Amino acid sequence: MDFIGAYSLGNLLFLLKGLGTTLLVAFIAIIFSFLIGSILGILRYAKIPVLSGIVALCVEVIRNLPLLLIIFFTFFALPEVGIKLSVTMAAITALIIFESAMLSEIVRSGLNSIEKGQIEAARSSGLTYMQTMQHIILPQALRRMVPPIVSQFISLLKDTSLAVVISLPELLHNAQIVNGKNVNYVIPTFLLIAVIYFLVNYSLSLVARRLEIKERTNRKSTGKVLPAKHQAGEMMQ
């Protein structure tokens, strides 16, 4: 093992560049996945005949497939039907397909966690379904969704490393290139990137945990301060 050689400035900078790609790809993917996942989650929650069923089927199929297969598919199989994507685009597309399905479930269970009485109260006070969703249900559900979404982002960051199979220049791929220079670099490099992944993801998981505690205490205290009767009275005004 050659720690000094493996941790030369050039190698370290090259690995940092890989980390940059990992973070960038994960960040782009989570944003699009959140948008698409929200739409899918709401469609499933709204129980629209036929449409909700189709969405449910697609989400379940994708959630039950390995992400690696989806990455392979977007990069190697789509060109056969005339869709040619660059490595980066293929990786981002695959991550968005997979993570949208995952996030739609988070959105749906967030929406389901809001008591049905809230919809009834809003509807009977004269709001339309859309208004109820926009002003009453979504704001509350969104707050509850934040901790699981941060956890999902951690998974996404880890999963980005699967794009090593299509040579996306992310952290693991760059580590493999450093390893190619010298067999004695392999263990030191892998240890270093393990620590890098750990530091990034662990700090995110601490954020998720803090948000979760805050969310839980919020829910308790609002329950105490604003009993159901009081809330109903407020809505009447």
Partner 1 sequence: MLDFSILTNNIDTYLEGFLNTLKVSLLALILSFILGVIIAVMRISPMKVLQLAGTAFVEFIRNIPLILILFIFYYGLPSLGMELSGFQAGTIALSIYTAAFIAEAIRAGILSVDKGQMEAGRSSGLTYIQTMRYIILPQAIKIVIPPLGNQFINLVKNSSILGVVAGLDLMYFGDSISSATYVVFDVYIFVALFYLILTIPLSLFVGYLERRLAVTG
Write out the residues near partner 1 by the rule CB under 8 A: 1, 60-61, 63-69, 72-73, 76-81, 154, 158-162, 164-165, 172, 176, 179, 183-184, 186-187, 190, 193-194, 197-198, 201-202, 205
Kindly tell me which of 42 and 162 has the beta carbon lying closer to partner 1: 162
Q: 3-class SS at 84? A: coil
Burial of 152 (0-12, 13-18, 19+ CB in 10 A): buried
* C-alpha to C-alpha distance for 87 and 80, rounded to whole angstroms: 15
Kindly tell me which of 132 and 151 has the beta carbon lying closer to partner 1: 151
Q: What is the largest CA-CA distance in the chain?
A: 73
Rg (CA), the chain: 22
Classify each residue of 139-149 as buried b or exposed e, where b means 16 or more C-beta atoms within 10 Å of its C-beta: ebbeebbbbbb
Shortest spacing between CB 54 and partner 1, in angstroms: 16
Kindly tell me which of 114 and 186 has the beta carbon lying closer to partner 1: 186
Shortest spacing between CB 21 and partner 1, in angstroms: 14
Shortest spacing between CB 60 and partner 1, in angstroms: 7
CA 66 to chain centre: 16
* C-alpha to C-alpha distance for 135 and 147, rounded to whole angstroms: 21
Kindly tell me which of 165 and 235 has the beta carbon lying closer to partner 1: 165
Q: Scan for tokens 């782009």, then name that residue.
A: 28
* DSSP codes, 120-167: HHHHHTT--HHHIIIIIIHHHHHHHHHHHHHHHHHHHHHHGGGGGGGT
Shortest spacing between CB 53 and partner 1, in angstroms: 15
Shortest spacing between CB 165 and partner 1, in angstroms: 6
Kindly tell me which of 142 and 207 has the beta carbon lying closer to partner 1: 207
Kindly tell me which of 119 and 165 has the beta carbon lying closer to partner 1: 165
Shortest spacing between CB 118 and partner 1, in angstroms: 21
